Amino acid sequence: MYVILTSKPGQFRTEAVDGLRPLEAYDYRFYGHIKAHFVIAELLEEKIKIRVVEDDTAIVNEVPSKFLEKFETTAQALKELEHLTTFGHMDTELRKMPLSAS
């Protein structure tokens, strides 16, 4: 199973933890500005908690993986990302990034 991890610069970041294997990374750009960073990751364990760290307060929330939407393939996860980041004729782009930028 695969999940999408979301980070929003200046707001929060989602960190990969044991039981997740990051596979692909994407920046979402809206009129040239990065609005979000997504990582498609393989869920290696069924019950894990994903770390979400707030940027301004460093508060850490641990979100159970059962609350994340799951996909059978990375292609399905990418299709969902493309759907979520496309708004008619607005200037949006989903740009593949190296995993090191995650």
pLDDT in tens, 29-45: 999 999 999 999 999 99
Domain ranges of the chain: 2-101
Question: How much of the chain, in percent, has pLDDT values that exceed 70?
Answer: 97
pLDDT in tens, 77-96: 999 999 988 887 888 899 99
Confidence class for position 60, pLDDT limits 50, 70, 90: very high
pLDDT value at residue 54? 96
Averaged pLDDT for residues 6-11: 95
pLDDT value at residue 17? 92
Query: Which phi and psi angles does 101 have, rounded to 5°?
Result: -85, 0
Q: Are 54 and 62 in contact (CB under 8 A)?
A: no
Q: What is the pTM of this model?
A: 0.89
The contacts of residue 55 (CB under 8 Å, 6+ apart) are 9, 10, 11, 12, 13
The contacts of residue 23 (CB under 8 Å, 6+ apart) are 2, 39, 40, 41, 42, 74, 99
C-alpha to C-alpha distance for 3 and 43, rounded to whole angstroms: 7
